[in-house]
Copies of this chain bind each other. A is one copy, B any other.
């Protein structure tokens, strides 16, 4: 991993790395915040998955998360949202192709050649982090919008892998809303089994690990009724008996102004879980 940015921040370092991704077949960038505690030993890792149109930059410049990561002593890892480059398939729309990987493994042309964000987030990136940073084995995951979908979906599909999961404004009814339907159709085709395998609402039904899900959703969010539908997640969790902490926040929109207002609560949630003593899994 080649370091391409380094900024002192809240006593630690906000870095950006670049690396050749085997999984994605392209060069990827990833933001890594190293808290001050990382100078003295291994610390837990909290993965952030960003939303549509984002790169690794949005979260690290706008969320104000470093303060809380420094307070609690966790590494923050913020990858890009898709494979990138001139040889990577793309689409002129903001909600498909580069900047819109949706954290799935594409099976359809032209996407299947590079769009394997699921494997990148679940396998390759954690291996790279473990090999290159002072990281304990304790991990948690959170994200925003498309990345909130990614975080919940990945946590539900990988029981035992994460200590905690949370999301801001997640796209949870992925098979029932325009953003999700468009992406799944493009990346996975019409195969119902493939859709089901990445549908949080289906995964909740058969979850073997009842990891509580923390969700913050702004009630002033322009996408709430059309794309986000938190009531569907609420009903699905209730039906499955899955613990959900859903904070519906009056006035807040879909922006990083919303995320920054509650990121401290989310990082506290994760830090609490990450610091629990556990036998190694």
A contact residues vs B (CB 8 Å cutoff): 7-11, 14, 61-62, 64, 66-67, 218, 220, 249-253, 255-258, 260-261, 264
Known pairs A61-B62, A62-B61; A218 contacts B8 (CB<8 A): yes
The answer to whether A251 touches B66, judged by C-beta atoms less than 8 angstroms apart, is no
Q: Shortest CB–CB separation between residue A60 and chain B, in angstroms?
A: 8
Question: Residues of B contacting A261 with CB < 8 Å?
Answer: 8-11, 66-67
Nearest residue, chain B, Cβ from A70 = B261
Q: How far is the CA of A218 from the CA of B10 in the complex (A)?
A: 12
Question: Residues of B contacting A250 with CB < 8 Å?
Answer: 8
Question: Residues of B contacting A7 with CB < 8 Å?
Answer: 252-253, 255, 257-258
The answer to whether B220 touches A8, judged by C-beta atoms less than 8 angstroms apart, is yes
Known pairs A218-B8, A260-B9; A64 contacts B67 (CB<8 A): yes
Q: How far is the CA of A96 from the CA of B120 in the complex (A)?
A: 45
Q: How far is the CA of A260 from the CA of B218 in the complex (A)?
A: 24
Choose among B66, B220, B253, B264 the residue that contacts A260 (Cβ–Cβ < 8 A): B66
The answer to whether A260 touches B8, judged by C-beta atoms less than 8 angstroms apart, is no
Q: How far is the CA of A112 from the CA of B253 in the complex (A)?
A: 41
Q: How far is the CA of A251 from the CA of B10 in the complex (A)?
A: 11
Q: Shortest CB–CB separation between residue A29 and chain B, in angstroms?
A: 16
Question: Residues of B contacting A264 with CB < 8 Å?
Answer: 67
The answer to whether B8 touches A249, judged by C-beta atoms less than 8 angstroms apart, is yes
The answer to whether A8 touches B252, judged by C-beta atoms less than 8 angstroms apart, is yes
Q: Shortest CB–CB separation between residue A9 and chain B, in angstroms?
A: 4
Nearest residue, chain B, Cβ from A60 = B257
Q: How far is the CA of A250 from the CA of B66 in the complex (A)?
A: 18
The answer to whether A257 touches B14, judged by C-beta atoms less than 8 angstroms apart, is yes
Question: Residues of B contacting A62 with CB < 8 Å?
Answer: 61-62
Q: How far is the CA of A18 from the CA of B257 in the complex (A)?
A: 20
Q: How far is the CA of A10 from the CA of B66 in the complex (A)?
A: 17
Choose among B8, B249, B255 the residue that contacts A251 (Cβ–Cβ < 8 A): B8
Q: How far is the CA of A93 from the CA of B88 in the complex (A)?
A: 35
Nearest residue, chain B, Cβ from A220 = B8
Nearest residue, chain B, Cβ from A252 = B8
Question: Residues of B contacting A9 with CB < 8 Å?
Answer: 257-258, 260-261
